[in-house]
Amino acid sequence: MDVPNLKRQAIGKRSKASGETFECWLTNACEFYLREGWAHIEKTPEPFHITGKDANGVVRGYYEKKGQPDYKGILCDGTGIMFEAKHTDAGRINQNVITDTQWKNLDIYERFGAHCYVMVSIGLIKFYRVPWAIWKKMKELFGHKFMTEQELEPYQLREKQCTILILEGVELKDENTENGACNETE
């Protein structure tokens, strides 16, 4: 194996680990919002194709191509929410990191009135919630099919006590609804 391939593999492994860390932090944020009674958002399981078991009973298989966006759920006002998580160590995020299937699902959920976003991590240091309506219009809005840190800045998320505040600023239909769960906690 030549050196460039080893370097590429190392970068790929680091990127995958960073993406998994970002998703773990998002899942923790979702659990925080559930405890507080604001939302129930779950990680979408990735489809896994089982190819068999070995003599020790260890399952062998592989993850199939990503289908749906990473997270979906419901806010306390009854509104749906869906988002895809993307991590990069570069100073920008490319529009084409969203697959055709994810794009289609985000469009459908948006059409039905759900809050739809792409959650972006840059270097596991800065986090952003980009509205789907903005994400799909990158070319028209920014002149290119990517967003720089400067272009992401209006969508930056705050953190509090090691929790990314992914829903801060999301407007609810009616925070005082009698039938909503907004004021109830388990």
pLDDT at 183 over 80: no
Q: How far, in Å, CA of 52 to CA of 60, rounded? A: 5
User: What is the rounded distance in angstroms from the CA atom of residue 66 to the CA atom of residue 43?
Assistant: 13
**CATH architecture of the domain with range 3-164:** 3-Layer(aba) Sandwich (3.40)
Largest CA distance in the chain: 64
- Please tell me the distance from the alpha carbon of residue 35 to that of residue 39, in angstroms, as a whole number: 9
> Using one digit for the tens of pLDDT, what is the confidence trace for 124-140?
999 999 999 999 999 99
Annotated domain spans of the chain: 3-164
| pLDDT of amino acid 178 | 54
Kindly report the length of the chain: 186
- pLDDT tens profile 7-46: 777 777 888 899 999 999 999 999 999 999 999 999 998 7
pLDDT recorded at residue 78: 96
Whether residue 102 has pLDDT greater than 70: yes
Cα angle for residues 34, 83, 157 (degrees, 5° grid): 75
pLDDT tens-digit readout, 143-159: 999 999 999 999 999 99
Q: What is the pTM of this model?
A: 0.84
Residue 63, pLDDT > 70, answer no
> Binning pLDDT at 50, 70 and 90, where does residue 174 land?
confident
